[in-house]
């Protein structure tokens, strides 16, 4: 179950990366609840692409950890990665929109709880 949830979270972040880096402003506007006029700004696009590369690299790190890290160390690494996801999601919930908590932090918190009880 831990591997399933962490893979789900990795795929979520890969999806975030695709929207942040490659989607048109109209799609980004719906996804992030931001005005299209703001998203058509080059500075906003640069910031989103920067954010996107972080989400993409996080996704790859989680997926590679699930595949390459021996199980004895995997729980520790996933605990750290899910803690990172949780903190960033909580920050996003306070600064952008509360739905980030439910989309990003809640699955990571659930994964952390599973790691702790197993």
Side-chain half-sphere CA neighbours of 76 within 13 A: 5
Q: Quick one: what percent of the chain has pLDDT higher than 70?
A: 100
The pLDDT tens digits for 32-75 are 889 999 999 999 999 999 999 999 999 999 999 999 999 889 99
Q: Is the pTM of this model over 0.85?
A: yes
**CA 46: distance to chain centroid?**
18
Instruction: Quote the mean pLDDT of the chain.
Output: 96
Res. 96 pLDDT band, cuts 50 70 90: confident
- Which residue ranges make up each domain of the chain? 2-117
Asked if residue 118 has pLDDT above 90, the reply is no
């Amino acid at each position: 179950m831990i591997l399933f949830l962490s893979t789900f979270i990795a795929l979520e972040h890969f999806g975030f990366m695709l929207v942040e880096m490659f989607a048109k402003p109209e799609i980004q506007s719906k996804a992030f609840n931001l005005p299209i006029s703001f998203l058509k700004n080059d500075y906003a696009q640069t910031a989103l692409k920067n954010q996107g590369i972080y989400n993409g690299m996080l996704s790859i790190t989680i997926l590679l950890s699930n595949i390459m890290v021996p199980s004895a160390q995997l729980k520790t690494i996933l605990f750290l990665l899910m803690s990172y996801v949780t903190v960033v999601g909580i920050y996003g919930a306070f600064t952008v929109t509360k739905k980030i908590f439910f989309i990003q932090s809640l699955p990571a918190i659930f994964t952390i709880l599973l790691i702790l009880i197993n």
